[in-house]
Structure 1
Amino acid sequence: MKHIYLDHAAAAPIDPRVVSAMAQASKEYGNPSAFNNAGRRAKKLLETGRKAVSDFLHARPDEIIFTSSGSEANNLALAGYLKGKKGRVITTPIEHPSVLECLRALPGIKVDFLSVDKDGLINLKELEKKLGLDVLLVSIMYANNEIGTIEPIAKTGRIIKKFSKNIVFHVDACQAVGFLDMNVQNLNTDLVTFNGSKISGPRGIGVLYVHRGLALQPLVRGGGQERGLRAGTENLPAIVGLAKAIQFIKSSEAKKLSALRDYAINKIQKEILDALLVGPTGDDRLPNNINICIPHLTSETILLELDKYGISAGSGSACTSHSVEPSHVLKAIGVPATHINGALRFSLGRSTTKSNIDYLVKTLETVIFNLVKRHR
């Protein structure tokens, strides 16, 4: 049976060249903090990886902090800056749980939500009205992990900095890497987070960009690693793997996937009339994201049936896949109650082909027909 993987937004298959680089790095057993030859070799690899990431972001090497994941990087960015402070934070109701739950857990912080439209887009006029002297930080996701909405980050940054250079701007860019501009100078950001697993890199590695001069408190204490912001011996193979994965990002990939995405959406809307497309179309949507909702069926039931045909897909955020609650993103954009439990996310990748899409739509049509028939 063929296997078609359409869950790249959860984690992309690791590039064999990345695996090879990681295997080579694993031979360097020294601790980068040690004062011996083995430690110095490891330190050189560590800093080479840091330089590769900083070059990718158009940042300085000392502005790059390695973490274990995008979620940890978000927590370090937000709690690291806001802990002990009192004031207001502006964000959206469709952020990743690692942002929303972190903010809710911080005493003294009032969370002020921007509204989003039916496609998940923020209103910049509303942002301008909400900005005030009590605002400590604004956190906006670059591209939504469930519905693929791309927010106007550069414009948002300009508005914030025009109002006050003292307001910190955090951007969760985990889904944007590989598709969108990651030049932090263009984005007008102070804190940017991303990880390796979305770009055919290793799991267990995240990045936090911290604008030089911005002071954070560590969440993990007990060592001086990562500028004193994250104690613990660095995960050298994962850092080397991340740096290698960044080398293989190609702008042409976004164009190819955009065409496949639009082909898939058009075919689904033509063949599966009950399917509701969720999120924007065209340039406001991630090139690899398709999110649809099927009425009166559950995501889990459909996904289990698709698995039998060799199709791996998702229902939204992999970080909330065990939750029995409907997606907070879909609720925020007003998806009807008849459809909200039947959300399906198909996220494309380097290996996705047109024939894969044809097989998906044909299979999905069969699965939905059989499930509806079974539940009558």
Structure 2
Amino acid sequence: MNNNNNLSQIYLDANATTPVLPQAANAAMSAMEHLFGNPSSSHITGLRAKNLMEQTRAKAKQIIGSANGKIIFTSGATEGIQTAILSALVSARTRLVSSAQLGEDFYLLYGATEHKAVPESLKHWNAILGINAKIIAIPVDRQGNLDHAFISTYAPKSLMICTMAVNNETGVYQDISRLEHTIRHANPDIFWMVDCVQALGKISLNLAQTSIDYAPFSGHKLYAPKGIGFVYIRENAPFTPVIAGGGQESGLRSGTENLPGMAAINVIFEQLIAEESCFADHQTLHTFRQQLTDTLKQAFPQIVFNHSFDNSVPTTLNFAIKGFSSKEIMDLFDAANIRVSSGSACSSKVTRSFVLDAMGLPAWQSESAIRLSFGPAMTQDEVNQACDRISSAANALTQSCMVLDSANMNDKTPLNGLVQLRSGASCTWIYVDAPSKQAFIIDPLPELTERLDTLLQCQQLTLVALIDTHGHADHISGRELLTLKRGITGHTDALGWPQTSLTFTENNQQFEYITVADKWLVKVPTPGHTADSISLLLCHPITGSQTLANNTLFAFCGDTILMGTLGRTNFESSSAKAMYASIELLSAVLAPQSLICPSHDYQHEFATHLTAECLRNTLLQQVIQGTISVDEFVSHKAKIDSQLNDQIGTEILCGALPAGSCHKVTPITEYSAASLDVALNTSKVKLIDIREPHEYALQHSLDSCENVPLTRLVQFMQQHQHDKRSEWVLVCRSGSRSLVAAQAMHRLGFTNVAHLKGGYALANAS
């Protein structure tokens, strides 16, 4: 399996980690070869090692302006945070015990946008030490600035306050001088830790001129290896060792010192001090940011920056592009060999940014956030290359009809069949008939309006229908705005169903339908989740003795039947009794394996059918088999919906999983690059690349591979309903998308589907 991408990597994820500076790597190697002595040994080899360690400590003190404060070398920022919090809370506890105040109410304060290592450490040591103080997040404003009035109110009864110099997601910095005035005016004795991990090399530090008690730092955020960091302890600030043992670091932190790490970070310190350095100055970094910003704005006109440049360091850009998820943009950039991240790398499995949520930004910006970050070793040539790649990535979106270029619309590959677009867990479905250029859209999301309009224009489609399956509680439909954009006229009902529809009768029940090219779109009333809920069935025309069950291609059932659950029925307009009847009707008009396309997909399962759902949803199975009465169903449904009380939070969920409803996912066969090459040569394995077309436009095509974009996976499954035993191996960039898609296909009966573990990223590496 060959990949023809030969572009060099442009690494723009420096806030997560950085490559080791070549000079630093050489110093570490030299230390391992020549300064391998134990600093605690009294012989010459040990003394030389100790000398290196003390030289490094002296430079660290110079750079951060620590004066008489202590510098203790650690394994990194997390250990430094533990050291600071433990030291402060042990002292605070002793003070409370001696004054018989341990039972009183006290607080531990931390910034709401703080790295999760801080509140988690506060919770841990607060419980371990039995202090049981209340841990409270300090709010921030829309610019990420801490609420000083809040601090003034709570600091007098607080034992410790934790803030950060520079935020790791947004680059926002706090005014330390103003913050100090607020803190010390409210409580001169409160212990104060400032996370300085993202500050080193980006802002000036003079800690001795402040009353900051503790400040952790990490080497790998600034071109040193992972595993080396240090913590500043203000003179006379209390200290309790986290690691006890042999008494290294003057008894403050036991364990044999990491001399290679110190040798490497010593080189970083030298670069920060030197007049002639490989690190760019502050003004140059601002110029780099402006160049990247201008390119991003030109490439993505819908871009929104999630922070103000007035109070953020120039090495971090956090942005969102309306209509695109963070995963889509990450995959796009990765295809162009540009490395960025979705918010914080430490929270890569989280779908939205708690930092941006705390700043009060709209949900779509939090969910779609991209962090682009670089370090002071960035060069003009790298910035130029990055800007070229970003422009190429935008062009790739244009070629795949995700961004409009009216001059080249006739060059587009015609879209045909069903497309699934998502925003978070919400789904919009677009069906296109390529020969007739007709299309319809189901459940248009407002955040996808521009993207949908672009797709319609780019493909030169006629929009036959724009319909919601129900009135949505979690968002406003994008139907009205898209109707205005497209200039659509004609009378419809409240959900967009055309009043010019036709009718036919099946089993003594009359159904309305409209024609879309050579297909019918049939409206089936399915109240329950809401009073106005409908299902829409795309089918071949019903003639003679044919039925909906035999002819339906896709069933858009809204939130009536969701993957692993049923739509909730505790809204004001809901009715569990009506849902019971709707399930009975759907089981009559759908074949057991007709593909059901929902309005929400909480588990990334794409689509489902009645056979798959009955295997894990006992309540659905009982209704279809007639083994549960309406009253029993209503009672069971009420219990299930009550589970949503603890799940809603800031998001309105449209369905709760019944307890014990999910069956164990069958393990998927995973190929390595080597085993896949063997399989391709010796069996009937078919390779399916599930990346989007714009990723192909960036020179990432694979040999002997069919492209089935993930957005069109449901269409692919429908086309192969009678060919489920073929051996397909799904491939993507990292293996994450291909695994999810393979599991979804396997659940729907594609028993021989497999995927390439690690994707082409690891295949290339091997």
In structure 2, what is the Cα distance between the partners aligned to 1:54 and 1:66?
Answer: 12
Q: Given the superposition, is the C-alpha separation of residues 48 and 327 from structure 1 closer, same or farther in structure 2, using an over 3 Å criterion?
A: same
* Runs of 5+ unmatched residues, structure 1: none
In structure 1, what is the Cα distance between the partners aligned to 2:211 and 2:395?
Answer: 47
Structure with more contact order per residue of length (Cα contacts < 8 Å, sep ≥ 6): 1
In structure 1, what is the Cα distance between the partners aligned to 2:13 and 2:254?
Answer: 32
In structure 1, what is the Cα distance between the partners aligned to 2:325 and 2:250?
Answer: 46
Q: Given the superposition, is the C-alpha separation of residues 371 and 235 from structure 1 closer, same or farther in structure 2, using an over 3 Å criterion?
A: farther
In structure 2, what is the Cα distance between the partners aligned to 1:264 and 1:187?
Answer: 35
Alpha-carbon displacement from aligned partner over 1:138-185 (angstroms, at most 9, x marks no partner) = 111101000111111122123323444321211101111111111102
In structure 1, what is the Cα distance between the partners aligned to 2:151 and 2:291?
Answer: 35
Q: Residue 74 of structure 1 contacts residue 99 of structure 1 at CA under 8 Å; is this kept in 2?
A: yes
Deviation at 1:62, TM superposition (A): 6.2
Q: Given the superposition, is the C-alpha separation of residues 43 and 291 from structure 1 closer, same or farther in structure 2, using an over 3 Å criterion?
A: same
**1:170 counterpart SS class:** strand
Q: Residue 166 of structure 2 contacts residue 173 of structure 2 at CA under 8 Å; is this kept in 1?
A: yes
Instruction: After TM superposition, list the pairs within 5 Å mapping 1:48-87 onto structure 2.
Output: 48-60=55-67, 63-83=70-90, 85=93, 87=106
Structure 1 or 2, whichever has the larger Rg, is: 2
Alpha-carbon displacement from aligned partner over 1:212-250 (angstroms, at most 9, x marks no partner) = 211222222222122333221010111121121012126
Aligned match of 2:303: 275
Give the counterpart letter for 2:309 in structure 1.
Answer: T
Deviation at 1:311, TM superposition (A): 0.7
In structure 2, what is the Cα distance between the partners aligned to 1:371 and 1:148?
Answer: 33
In structure 2, what is the Cα distance between the partners aligned to 1:21 and 1:116?
Answer: 42
2:328 to 301, 305, 315: 301
In structure 1, what is the Cα distance between the partners aligned to 2:261 and 2:373?
Answer: 24
TM-score, normalisation: structure 2: 0.46
1:348 to 374, 382, 397: 374
Counting aligned pairs with the same residue, the percent is 28
In structure 1, what is the Cα distance between the partners aligned to 2:172 and 2:111?
Answer: 13
Aligned match of 1:358: 387
Alpha-carbon displacement from aligned partner over 1:305-341 (angstroms, at most 9, x marks no partner) = 32221111111222222x2342211211123223322
Whether 1:94 and 2:113 are equivalent positions in the alignment is yes
Whether 1:124 and 2:131 are equivalent positions in the alignment is no
* Runs of 5+ unmatched residues, structure 2: 1-6, 94-101, 404-418, 422-429, 431-766
**1:8 counterpart SS class:** coil
1:177 to 182, 196, 200: 200
Give the counterpart letter for 1:365 in structure 2.
Answer: A
**1:292 counterpart SS class:** strand
Deviation at 1:347, TM superposition (A): 0.7
Whether 1:168 and 2:174 are equivalent positions in the alignment is no
Q: Given the superposition, is the C-alpha separation of residues 61 and 363 from structure 1 closer, same or farther in structure 2, using an over 3 Å criterion?
A: farther
In structure 1, what is the Cα distance between the partners aligned to 2:85 and 2:397?
Answer: 42
Give the root-mean-square deviation of aligned CA atoms: 2.3
Q: Pick which of 191-200 and 119-128 moved more.
A: 119-128
**2:221 counterpart SS class:** coil
Q: Given the superposition, is the C-alpha separation of residues 238 and 78 from structure 1 closer, same or farther in structure 2, using an over 3 Å criterion?
A: same
2:284 to 256, 261, 275: 256
Give the counterpart letter for 1:138 in structure 2.
Answer: I
Instruction: After TM superposition, list the pairs within 5 Å mapping 1:1-376 onto structure 2.
Output: 1-26=7-32, 27-60=34-67, 63-83=70-90, 85=93, 87-105=106-124, 106-107=126-127, 108-132=132-156, 134-249=157-272, 253-282=281-310, 284-321=311-348, 323-349=349-375, 350-353=377-380, 354-366=383-395, 370=400, 372=402, 375=421
Q: Residue 302 of structure 1 contacts residue 367 of structure 1 at CA under 8 Å; is this kept in 2?
A: no
Q: Given the superposition, is the C-alpha separation of residues 40 and 371 from structure 1 closer, same or farther in structure 2, using an over 3 Å criterion?
A: farther
In structure 1, what is the Cα distance between the partners aligned to 2:320 and 2:165?
Answer: 23
Number of equivalences: 373
Deviation at 1:38, TM superposition (A): 2.4
Q: Residue 194 of structure 2 contacts residue 216 of structure 2 at CA under 8 Å; is this kept in 1?
A: yes
Deviation at 1:100, TM superposition (A): 1.7
In structure 1, what is the Cα distance between the partners aligned to 2:87 and 2:402?
Answer: 49
Alpha-carbon displacement from aligned partner over 1:276-331 (angstroms, at most 9, x marks no partner) = 2101123x11111101113343323322232221111111222222x234221121
Give the counterpart letter for 1:310 in structure 2.
Answer: N
- More strand, by proportion: 2
Alpha-carbon displacement from aligned partner over 1:66-100 (angstroms, at most 9, x marks no partner) = 11111221121112321473632222111011112
TM-score, normalisation: structure 1: 0.91
Q: Given the superposition, is the C-alpha separation of residues 287 and 186 from structure 1 closer, same or farther in structure 2, using an over 3 Å criterion?
A: farther
